[in-house]
Structure 1
Amino acid sequence: EAEELETQVLEARKRVLGPEHPSTLTSMANLASTLWQQGKLDEAEELETQELEASKKVLGPEHPSTLTSMSNLALTLQQQGKLDDAEELQTQVLEASKRVLGPEHPDTLTSMDNLAGTLRQQGKLDEAKELETQVLEARERVLGPEHPDTLISMYNLAFTLHGMGNKKAAIQLMTETVAMHQNVLGDNHPYTSQGMKQLEIWKAEEEREE
């Protein structure tokens, strides 16, 4: 239903306002997001690519909305396993975001986190760890140690450490993360239960290895 409605709105805006009007671009982004959630990644990628090209032309290559479009497309590519393409786009977004918004702006830190996730998927764990450490330290300073984004950073870094074989440090960091999730979000929040489950798996692995 959402897809059908958003398609109608998009077509109407294209007719009335033109294909490159900012409202038309917003409609394209909305429809692409719905397609993404439905798992229609190829269609989402096609629409996001069109929207990005139009956004570059109309708003400029470093406009915050253009950077958001680029970031969305990169996440779609990452989801499809097109990791080299995703990394290239996310690197561009991060560099532009540092220039336009500043190195510690929350959106810049999200860009850095997204790139780190792609690097982790590619097995570039040293690079991922370096970025994730920077993001975590900056988020603690800018947003505070108990902000949900800070907790996500701790969670991500714990995974990278575990992947690098630094299992004791990973378990220690995940233990801290889960305790803070319980404190901030409560026991029943999905992030809390996800962290607890992961911690149990890692501890069980460690016991077996001992």
Structure 2
Amino acid sequence: MLEPSGLYYPYRFARFYLLGMQDVLGTEGLDAILGLAGLTTYLRDLPPDNMERKFDFSILAALSAALEEWYGARGGRGLSLRIGRSWFDQGLHSFGAFAGMAHPAFLALPLHSRARLGLDALCAIFMQHTDQQMKLTVQDTTYEVSVDVSPMAWGRQADRPVCHALVGLMQACLHYASDGYEYHVYENACRAAGYDDCVFVINQKPIGQTGG
């Protein structure tokens, strides 16, 4: 188990994450990863459904590392992407501005506006409720989301980015805000690989869109 970070998610966010793991891996798969990560306390009970900010980043790092150890680097990456998407669907979509994104007035906005507002909402939720600091920057053809301390990278060393669940989370956020479009999201820099921040790059045009 990694050393505690002193940085935290609220229990409810962690609960959604573990429910996302269970959704993707099944109960037996989740139990195997919890055991491998030394987190057997969660075999019986998920984190409580409240907003106390007490779920240490090191636990999420241990879960991410255990996924790659159990399924291999490629398999762990693919599963983490799916877990990140399910994490959003388990309940994060009901927070903040996301709650109003099914309203006809929001859906009438231009696609690029909805995508940016979705990323803005995601950053705002994590900035308000967690110790994960996020910043959105708009470039000519891309969005960049920087995370100063990613839970998935805490205390880890790797020769490649490891925050795949956050990539999946951003994909799901954009899918929701755009009412069904898929976006290409990738992690361009990662603290686990020696960078100061984890940086995620998102193409402004959704996959398959060729028009202006």
Question: Under a length normalisation based on structure 2, what TM-score does the superposition of the two structures give?
Answer: 0.30
Larger gyration radius, structure 1 or structure 2: 1
Question: Under a length normalisation based on structure 1, what TM-score does the superposition of the two structures give?
Answer: 0.30
- Greater fraction helix: 1
RCO higher in structure (CA 8 A, sep ≥6): 2
